[in-house]
Structure 1
Amino acid sequence: MLKTEFAPAKLNLTLEVLGRRPDGFHEIRSLVAFAKDVGDRLTLGPGRFSATETTGPFAAEIAEGNLVDKAFAAISAAVPGFEFERLTLEKILPVASGIGGGSADAAAALRLMQRTFPSASGLDYSAIGRALGADVPVCLKSRAALMTGLGEHIENVELPGDLFAVLVNPLVSVPQNKTARVFALLAAPPVTIDRVSEDSPEFSTVEQVIAYAAARGNALEKPARELFPIIDTLLSKLGQLAGSRFVQLSGAGPTCFALFDTKRAAESATAELENRHPDWWIRSTRLA
């Protein structure tokens, strides 16, 4: 019997870089949300696992040693005699696009293993996720949250049910060390405290979400523009759409997004962009 697990896209509604730590990593504070119906999908079926089989429009862009295989290796190392079935990844999200694709895939693989194999149910999946990547723990939950530290401190956040987004990726070439290069261009100063804490924000309206995001922004947007000048065009086009309430870069890019307060407005904006820019990757979704 086939078993599936959805790996939703992750959006950084805010991304504050609070400083560079002595270990070279960066202290962040980020409000993240997840797409309800835009993401990759993992399928577990009959057969013996050797490596993840990848299908979908962006399958060819997956490099060897992807995070799904690393997630499997981590579970195999922790559970003696662990055997996995044939695993297929349908790659719908652009690779290295700033919307957590690889991390979401790894998290989905961990969830799939946890619910499929009782022998692996007692493991500390959050710790395994942290070892795989800073975004994996929040992707394990796949729900809106405030991330702090390196991303390991996660506080759940409730978003209003009428928050919609249009995601746009220009499908330009992305270097493998994209995120490191963007952080290098940022040149953040040393962090002055061990850890920044903040009470989780509370939102009852889309206006409150937008006000919160607008006040904090994405610290990586300016350096990312140096690497991907087309970000200026994306943000401009998104801001001109009818019903667009707020536009921003997600993560280290190059995916950008616009927020809307109705599904109809988001879908209409998507159709308009698709007509004007058929060479871009464009999706609309509700955020949660």
Structure 2
Amino acid sequence: MHEAIRLKAGCKINLWLVIKGVLENGYHELETVFYPLSDPHDTLVVTPREGQGIVFTCSDSALDGQDNLVVRAYTTYAEATGFAPGIDVYLEKVVPTGAGLGGGSSDAAAMLRYLDQSARQSGEKGLALDALIDIAAGLGADVPVFLLGKPALATGIGEKLVSVAIDMTGMTLVLACPDVHVSTAWAYKAYDEHVASREAEKIDDEDLTSRLRRHTHMPFQNGVMLYNSFEEVVFSQYPEICRLKEILLTNGALGALMTGSGAAVFGLFHQAEAARNVKCSLDKSGIRTYLAHLG
């Protein structure tokens, strides 16, 4: 009997997210800075077995089935390489869906890493990182960064990655996850209808790409680097998310931002005690929160 392997799949926040336009293929061109978090995290319990193919189940029945990104990652890798080991996969789902944390993308990346490592261990030829990232990009814009596993500037649809060193030493992060599900497809459509139809966004100072190319370390000062194109339309539809950001800012956060297309919001604190206090307050109000000491 084969022993089960537990794969940890974390999540991410976006410190900066600008929608630059729509490409001919219908995807949106982005400029975003991803920052990976180890918690909250999902767990993939993988049990090897004889034969080929994947049998997939999930703790959340709504996410069960062949459309799950874990299954799609397996199928795509198998089609690209011919390596299709027999595995049973059980996904313990913890990262909230519709929160902008990339949980599903992280799950897919964990599956791709597992398959590539297994291929190498079995004597098969694994894929170069660039090839693996190409597969990941075909699954979703957020998947490639989880293969990189470190802070990164992403452009294109998220597949063009450049590692960046971001200095947040000594900061404490509070991640608040309200019981709200924001559809990414809806958020893009709302943005296109209500924001992109206006004159293109203007960002003060030189663009982020130029700044990252000139600097190795990017310390945060007064939250000036935090920006998200989605906030305008999402806050208009879901004012409770906006209020959550305001709570973080009025309780000592240096900066606060909605991540991805929402609904999760994070705050960055210099004072760990202030971070713990606001986490405690939000917990009592029924908002699921996580605390992380950075740097």
Structure 1 residue 153: deviation in Å?
1.4
**Whole-angstrom CA distance in 2 between matches of 1:264 and 1:18:** 38
Residue aligned with 1:253, SS: coil
Matched, 1:130 2:137: yes
Query: What does residue 241 of structure 2 align with?
Result: 231
Match runs of 1:251-270 below 5 Å: 251-261=260-270, 263-270=272-279
Q: CA-to-partner distance for each residue in 1:86-142, whole Å, 9 max, x for gaps?
A: 112111111121111111111111111122222262352111001101111112112
State the alpha-carbon separation in 2 of the partners of residues 175 and 36 from structure 1: 24
* 2:226 aligned with 1:221: no
- Aligned counterpart, 1:43: 45
Retained in 2: the 8 A contact 1:34–1:287?
Answer: no
Written as runs of structure 1 = structure 2, the 5 A alignment for 1:1-288 is 1-47=3-49, 50-55=54-59, 59-62=60-63, 64=65, 65-80=67-82, 82-118=84-120, 119=124, 121-122=126-127, 124-160=131-167, 161-175=169-183, 177-188=185-196, 198=210, 199-200=212-213, 201-203=215-217, 205-207=219-221, 210-213=223-226, 217-241=227-251, 243-261=252-270, 263-275=272-284, 277-278=285-286, 280-287=287-294
Q: Deviations over 1:131-188 (max 9, x none)?
A: 1011111121121111112112111111223333211121124447334334334442
Any conservation in 1 of the 2:56–2:64 contact (CA below 8 Å)? no
Partner of residue 205, structure 2: none
Cα deviation, 1:173-226, whole Å, max 9, x if unaligned, reads 4447334334334442598xxxx9534453364438x3322xxx1111001123
Q: Aligned partners of 1:149 and 1:135: how far apart in 2?
A: 11
Q: Retained in 2: the 8 A contact 1:163–1:261?
A: yes
Q: Identity rate of aligned residues, in percent?
A: 26
Pick closer, same or farther for the CA change 1:181–1:61 going to 2, 3 Å: farther
Compared with structure 1, are the counterparts of its residues 78 and 138 closer, same or farther at alpha carbon in structure 2 (3 Å cutoff)? same
Higher relative contact order (Cα pairs below 8 Å, separated by 6+ residues): 1
Say whether the 8 Å CA contact 1:163–1:286 is kept in structure 2. yes
Alignment check: 8 A CA contact 1:38 1:285 kept? no
1:202 match: secondary structure: coil
Gap runs ≥5 in structure 1: none
Distance 2:245 2:42 in 1: 25
Q: Are the counterparts in 2 of residues 16 and 219 from structure 1 also a CA contact under 8 Å?
A: yes
* Preserved contact between residue 30 and residue 156 of structure 2 (Cα < 8 Å): yes
In angstroms, what is the RMSD of aligned CA positions? 2.6
Say how many residue pairs are matched.
274
SS in structure 2 at match of 1:113: helix
Q: What secondary structure is seen at the aligned counterpart in 2 of 1:92?
A: coil
AA in 2 matched with 1:226: S
Looking at structure 2, the residues matched to 63 and 174 of structure 1 have their Cα atoms a distance apart, in angstroms, of 20
Match of 1:207, SS state, is: coil
Conserved 8 A contact 1:54-1:88 = yes
Q: Secondary structure at the match of 1:143?
A: coil
Greater Cα radius of gyration, structure 1 or 2: 2
AA of the residue aligned to 2:107: D
TM-score by length of 2: 0.82
